Amino acid sequence: MMNTVFLDAGTLSPIQLRSDQSEQLSPKHFDIDISRLAHCCESLILFNQTDSKQRLDRCRNAQHIITNKVVINAELMDQLPQLELICVAATGYNNIDILAAKERNISVCNVAGYSTQSVVQICFQLLLQLNNHYGAVQTMLIEKGWQNHPEFVMLPKGFSQLEGKTMTIIGHGTIGKAVSKVAQAFGLKIVLAQLPERDLKDGYTPLEQALSISDFVSLHCPLTDETSKLVNQAFIDKLKPGALLINTARGGLLDEDAVAEALHNGTLAGLGCDVLSTEPPSHDNPLLSAPNVVITPHIGWASIEARQTLVNELAKNIDGFIHSKPRNIIV
């Protein structure tokens, strides 16, 4: 029998369902339809979460492993001679030792493009909450109460319209392009920033110049050696005063200490982020206590529709592999 294990299937179900202490999940734990995934596997076990000490035991008899964030390294692969396929339930695959998989003739596939509209939605939620000072509005409602206010309008802080403002987008791939489209619908002027040390492409603006004219900066580039801590003190120093920063890409793009300091001293007007450098974050992460910050806990990818597409694509990846028609193959 061909056995498949999903090591952290709990990442695809709402957090209120993950409070169940059962090690294994069933379809009732999900708000999406996982039947397509179940049907393509002869035997499918859905584990809620898997820590490093549990990996070997749970994978011992599996020909196919599905993982979102559980690390699959060379040491583990060496103990799984039957392993044929690793399916990443995400786009990024930095939790897989790709070279080791290639050397051992283990195929690795991922799922790309499933969450574009979901991420775009969260991106603009963060932008609008910051720009419209939603936190101040909520605080005033709770502390003072509109019903006790002498006027029909209760405005704790003035906010500006998006129309006519400038948004710089760093990373103009699938998500960056989708963000540009929505931004233009709001009447924003779009600037595409060219990363440093790269040849300037048509339609792009050097990063330093782009930052100096930006009301909003939205990050959509991958995390690489080149972009690690891209948003550092030098980056912040080049920003137009009053600029807001949005990060729905990767937490490691930010030098979090520098960004927190800039928020405290006002050189950065606000930060909206769906990602942090370490997740879950440590209690002393400086962004958690910085002012003018809106944080969502890495939910940008996780709309119902995006998670359903992800599951369907995982099923197609496994079915394609079984029938010698592999798809979305990394190695």
Would you state the pLDDT for residue 1? 73
Residue 20 has pLDDT above 70, yes or no: no
Answer whether residue 261 shows pLDDT above 80.
Answer: yes
Other C-beta atoms closer than 10 Å to the C-beta of 38 total 16
Residue found by looking up tokens 């060219």 in the block: 194
Helix 134-143 to helix 116-131 angle (10° resolution) is 60
Q: Where are the alpha helices (DSSP H) in the chain?
A: 35-40, 55-59, 74-78, 98-103, 116-131, 134-143, 174-185, 207-212, 233-238, 256-265, 304-322
Average the pLDDT over each of 89-93, 274-278, 308-312 and give the range with the smallest value: 89-93
Give the model's confidence band at 150: pLDDT under 50 very low, under 70 low, under 90 confident, else very high: confident
Residue 89 near residue 314 (C-beta atoms within 8 A): yes
d(CA 151, CA 110): 55
C-beta of residue 65 within 8 angstroms of C-beta of residue 5: yes
pLDDT tens, residue by residue, 175-217:
999 999 999 999 999 999 998 878 888 999 999 999 999 999 9
- pLDDT confidence band for 127 (50 / 70 / 90): very high
Q: Where are the domains of the chain?
A: 3-114+304-322, 116-295
Q: What is the pLDDT of residues 105-119, one digit of tens each?
A: 999 999 999 999 999
User: Mean pLDDT over residues 18-33, rounded?
Assistant: 79
Do 3-114+304-322 and 116-295 share a fold? yes
Per the CB < 8 A criterion, the answer to whether 68 and 90 are in contact is yes
Per-residue pLDDT at 154: 82
In the numeric block, which tokens belong to residue 248?
A: 């729905």
Question: What pLDDT sits at residue 16?
Answer: 57
What tokens were used for 50? Answer: 């898997």
Q: What superfamily in CATH does domain 3-114+304-322 come from?
A: NAD(P)-binding Rossmann-like Domain (3.40.50.720)
Q: Which CATH architecture does the domain made up of 116-295 adopt?
A: 3-Layer(aba) Sandwich (3.40)
pLDDT on residue 146? 85
Q: Is the pLDDT of residue 22 over 80?
A: no
What pTM did the predictor assign? 0.90
Q: How confident is the model at residue 137 (pLDDT cuts 50, 70, 90)?
A: confident
Higher pLDDT: 16 or 240? It is: 240
The per-residue pLDDT for 136 is 87
pLDDT digits (tens, 9 = 90+) for 299-316: 999 999 999 999 999 999
Grouping H, G, I as helix, E, B as strand and the rest as coil, residue 249 is: coil
The answer, yes or no, to whether the previous bond of 280 is cis (omega within 30 of 0) is: yes
Active-site residue set: 250, 279, 298
The label of the residue with tokens 């209760």 reads 154
Residue 23, helix vs strand vs coil: coil
Question: Which pLDDT belongs to residue 142?
Answer: 85
